[in-house]
Amino acid sequence: MISPLLAAIVEPLSYTFVLHGLLAGLLAALACATLSPFVVWRGMAFVGDALAHAILPGIVVAFALGISLFFGALGAAVLAVAGIGLFSGGGRLKEDTAIGVIFAGFFALGIMLLSRMVSYQDLSHILFGNILGVSTKDLASMAVVVLIVILTVALSFKEIVVTSFDPSHSVAIGLSPDLIRYGLLMLLALTTVVAIQTVGVVLVLALLVTPGAAASMISRRMSRILFWSVLFSVAATVTGFYTSYYWDIPSGSAIVLTLTVIFLVTWTVSAAFRHRHARGPRSARGPR
């Protein structure tokens, strides 16, 4: 006998476009949650958000030309990152200023191109996501991106951690912090393209920041933070997806709100825990 709950979960998936939507959401969740702890701990939230907006012109051009959105987005991301490096190089401008200038300029260019090239419907899909419009081909390219992100992070985990934690030591052992930084920015750009499909340009930041932030509330080890980040992200995507389906609210907003609730819960629990055990760790620390 199938319980009503199980039926409620399985029934929507009998529609291909719904199944595709859920898969797309899960892929985006995986890619974003893998990068999220690094975005949080390296302080890359602003540049992540900027990149998510800066790829807009690339996506619009690619959309209009009928070529792969990934290449369009990646092209725009490379240009944006190069521009940020150029303007902040030599110490004449602080990096966040350069990011701000590029971010706003690229996004404005994207909006202008959008108004000339594509319909209002498409605009709303790019800005807020269109989780139910994912084709099999889209899914395949999203899966490739997710694979690239996860493999890169898995294979260079120790290098990403050491450059984040201690740049002097990294240079001393011949590992360039810039190389890792630009590599992460490229992964962020790729990930953003995947996430735009589900939550749109405007809410990508939530997928990049909130899972890592919530995970950081319950562990102080990078490997565990990574684990919890992925778990929270996947759980929020599934919950948000079904909420969106049954209550007819936008999927991006449902997913992000679920993530936000998870963060609030972890934050509250961690604050309460720290309050209760405030004397514990400190007295255990003791003088040496």
Partner 1 sequence: MILNTLRYGGTCRVPAVPDTPALAVDNLTFSYPGADGPVLETVNLLVHPGDRVALVGPNGAGKSTLLKLILGLEQQRTGTIDVYGHPAHTCLHRVSIVPQRTSVDWQFPVTVRNVVTMGRYVHLGWFKRPRSEDKDRVQDALEAMEIADLADRQIGELSGGQQQRVMLARTLAHDADLMLMDEPLNHVDISTQELMFHTLERLTSAGKAAVVSTHDLGILTVHFNRAVFLDRTIIADGPVEDVLTPETIAKAYGFEFHKNYPHQNHTPSEAPR
Least separation in angstroms between residue 210's CB and partner 1 is 17
Residue from 7, 90, 119, 121 in contact with partner 1 (CB under 8 A): 90
| Contact between residue 39 and residue 188 where contact means Cβ atoms under 8 Å apart | yes
Is residue 277 a contact residue for partner 1 (CB under 8 A)? no
The DSSP call for residue 15 is S
Mark residues 27-66: x for contact with partner 1 by CB under 8 A, - for none: ----------x---x-------------------------
Is residue 175 a contact residue for partner 1 (CB under 8 A)? yes
Least separation in angstroms between residue 187's CB and partner 1 is 16
Is residue 179 a contact residue for partner 1 (CB under 8 A)? yes
Is residue 91 a contact residue for partner 1 (CB under 8 A)? yes
Is residue 270 a contact residue for partner 1 (CB under 8 A)? no
Residue from 141, 176, 243, 270 in contact with partner 1 (CB under 8 A): 176
Q: Of the candidates 189, 195, 203, 204, which has an alpha carbon nearest to the alpha carbon of residue 58? A: 189
Is residue 279 a contact residue for partner 1 (CB under 8 A)? no
Residue 10's SS3 state is helix
Give the start-end residues of each E strand in 145-235: none
Residue from 7, 66, 136, 221 in contact with partner 1 (CB under 8 A): 221
| Residue 253: Cβ within 10 Å count | 19
Q: Which stretch binds partner 1 (CB under 8 A): 58-66, 84-92, 194-202, 229-237?
A: 84-92
Q: Of the candidates 172, 59, 52, which has an alpha carbon nearest to the alpha carbon of residue 118? A: 59
Report CA torsion sign: 10, 11, 14, 19: negative
Site residues for partner 1 per CB under 8 A:
37, 41, 90-92, 155-156, 158-159, 161-162, 164-169, 171-176, 178-179, 216, 219-222, 225, 281, 285, 287-288
